[in-house]
């Protein structure tokens, strides 16, 4: 699938990009080249040292700059789009910067990919893009809309989206934060004891991406059936003896996140490992046949609270050991 291909990973020095690179090079030893596009030259240097003697090339640039993005898309077969301002608090404090990176950057990528006849874009999104109530979620919702539209407007370019929750150990996630707080203060600040979130390991996230690259038709949002946790489960796994302090929800924060809303249920289909939100311009039957899937029931919703697959304390402890 990836052998003899040139692959662009935007935001490629991040947790997902590094794990994708490692597993792709392992699974597909004849990849022609992986191009890492990101803003931080220091992180690029560190990644270059990690992947010395592998076919990697680095481009330092900004998603909001169309010239930078255009240069990165030359001679590319497929794109993994991970670049984003993704820390909710940072986006809330700098909304225009988030719009430039997450929305304008997405359109810059679509236009450059079309110009250079890139075959496929797989865009990584977030559960915050549904039932939006913060800047980050709003920008990713708009980004998703652009990629869905691009599959039709910029054909034969194929564009698809994966909607993830939290990725274990990635920047801004709760487990590293709790570990630090437990070690330094012995107190874990929790916004609300009822809070739940989706969580997957980096390996799971990359496996989902590989599958999407193979299977996607184009225009769909893929919402994988990943597991969820309650925040108290994380707290107990990190340090059962730490004191818990409930501090209240922050601006733009929700008690639970939603992968598939009931408003999307009429065009959502279910496979054994994911939910597929069919684009509004497409025939649902076509996607059902392709994925061997069935439509979900009316008013169906998949969120981190009603998810039947919840992590246990023991499972989270094991995941922490693997970090």
For residue 171, the model assigns a pLDDT of 77
With beta carbons less than 8 A apart as the criterion, state whether 258 and 130 touch. Answer: yes
Quickly count: other Cβ atoms within 10 Å of residue 153's Cβ: 13
Three-state secondary structure call for residue 175? helix
Predicted confidence at residue 322, as pLDDT, reads: 86
Residue 86 in this model has a pLDDT that exceeds 90: no
- Give the model's pLDDT for residue 312: 98
* pLDDT value of residue 87: 86
* pLDDT tens-digit series, residues 7-23: 999 999 999 999 999 99
Over residues 22-27, mean pLDDT: 98
Q: Would the pLDDT of 89 be above 90?
A: no
Say what percent of the chain tops pLDDT 90.
Answer: 95
Calpha distance 233→237 (Å, rounded): 6
Of all helices (H) and strands (E), which one includes residue 121? strand 120-126
In this structure, the strands spanning 78-81 and 6-10 are: parallel
What is the structure's pLDDT at 170?
A: 86
Using DSSP bridges, classify how beta strands 243-246 and 187-190 pair: parallel, antiparallel or unpaired.
parallel
Whose CA is closest to 8, among 32, 42, 40? 32
Q: Examine the pLDDT at 33 and tell me if it is beyond 90.
A: yes
At residue 29, the pLDDT reads 95
Within the chain, residue ranges assigned H as helices are 15-27, 41-50, 66-72, 88-93, 95-98, 105-115, 135-153, 174-184, 202-215, 231-238, 284-291, 313-322
Q: What is the pLDDT of residues 131-177, one digit of tens each?
A: 999 999 999 999 999 999 999 999 999 999 999 999 998 877 899 99
d(C-alpha 77, C-alpha 48), whole Å: 22
Report pLDDT for 32. Answer: 98
Report helix angle 105-115 to 135-153, nearest 10. Answer: 20
| Whether 188 contacts 182, CB under 8 Å | yes
pLDDT mean over 109-114: 99
Angle (CA) 311 83 147, round 5°: 90
15-27 vs 41-50: helix crossing angle, rounded to 10: 30
Please give the mean pLDDT across all residues of the chain: 96
* Site of tokens 């408003």: 263
Q: Residue 310, class by beta-carbon neighbours within 10 Å (0-12 exposed, 13-18 middle, 19+ buried)?
A: middle
Please, are residues 64 and 104 in contact by the beta-carbon 8 Å criterion? yes
Candidates 105, 5, 104; CA nearest to 55 is 5
Reading the block at residue 78, the tokens are 């497929």
CA 137 to chain centre: 12
Q: Tell me how long the chain is.
A: 323
- Mean pLDDT computed over 225-245: 96
Give the tokens for residue 188.
């874990």
Q: Which CATH superfamily is domain 6-165+200-225+262-303 in?
A: NAD(P)-binding Rossmann-like Domain (3.40.50.720)
Residue 28 pLDDT > 80: yes
Q: Which pLDDT belongs to residue 250?
A: 87
258-282 tens-digit pLDDT: 999 999 999 999 999 999 999 999 9
Q: Crossing angle of helices 231-238/174-184, nearest 10°?
A: 40
């Amino acid at each position: 699938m990836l052998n003899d291909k040139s692959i662009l990973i935007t935001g490629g020095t991040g947790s997902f990009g590094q794990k994708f690179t490692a597993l792709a090079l392992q699974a597909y030893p004849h990849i022609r080249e992986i191009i890492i596009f990101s803003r931080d030259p220091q992180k690029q240097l560190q990644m270059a040292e990690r992947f010395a003697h592998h076919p990697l090339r680095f481009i330092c640039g900004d998603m909001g700059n169309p010239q930078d993005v255009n240069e990165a898309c030359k001679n590319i077969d497929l794109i993994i789009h991970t670049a984003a301002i993704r820390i909710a608090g940072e986006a809330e404090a700098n909304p225009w910067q988030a719009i430039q990176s997450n929305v304008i950057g997405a359109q810059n990528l679509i236009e450059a990919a079309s110009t250079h006849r890139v075959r496929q874009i797989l865009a990584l999104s977030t559960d915050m893009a549904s039932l939006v109530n913060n800047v980050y979620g709003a920008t990713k919702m708009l980004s998703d809309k652009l990629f869905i539209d691009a599959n039709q407007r910029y054909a034969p370019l194929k564009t698809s989206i994966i909607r993830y929750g939290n990725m274990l150990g990635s920047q801004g996630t709760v487990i590293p934060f709790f570990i630090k707080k437990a070690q330094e203060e012995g107190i874990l600040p929790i916004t609300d004891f009822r809070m739940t979130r989706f969580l997957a390991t980096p390996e799971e996230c990359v496996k989902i991406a590989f599958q999407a690259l193979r299977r996607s038709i184009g225009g769909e949002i893929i919402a994988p059936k990943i597991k969820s946790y309650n925040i108290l489960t994380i707290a107990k796994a990190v340090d059962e003896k730490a004191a818990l302090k409930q501090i209240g929800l922050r601006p733009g924060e929700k008690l639970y996140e939603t992968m598939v809303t009931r408003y999307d249920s009429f065009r959502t289909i279910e496979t054994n490992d994911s939910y597929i939100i069919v684009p509004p311009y497409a025939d649902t039957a076509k996607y059902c046949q392709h994925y061997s899937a069935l439509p979900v029931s009316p008013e169906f919703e998949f969120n981190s609270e009603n998810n039947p697959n919840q992590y246990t304390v023991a499972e989270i402890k094991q995941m922490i050991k693997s970090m």
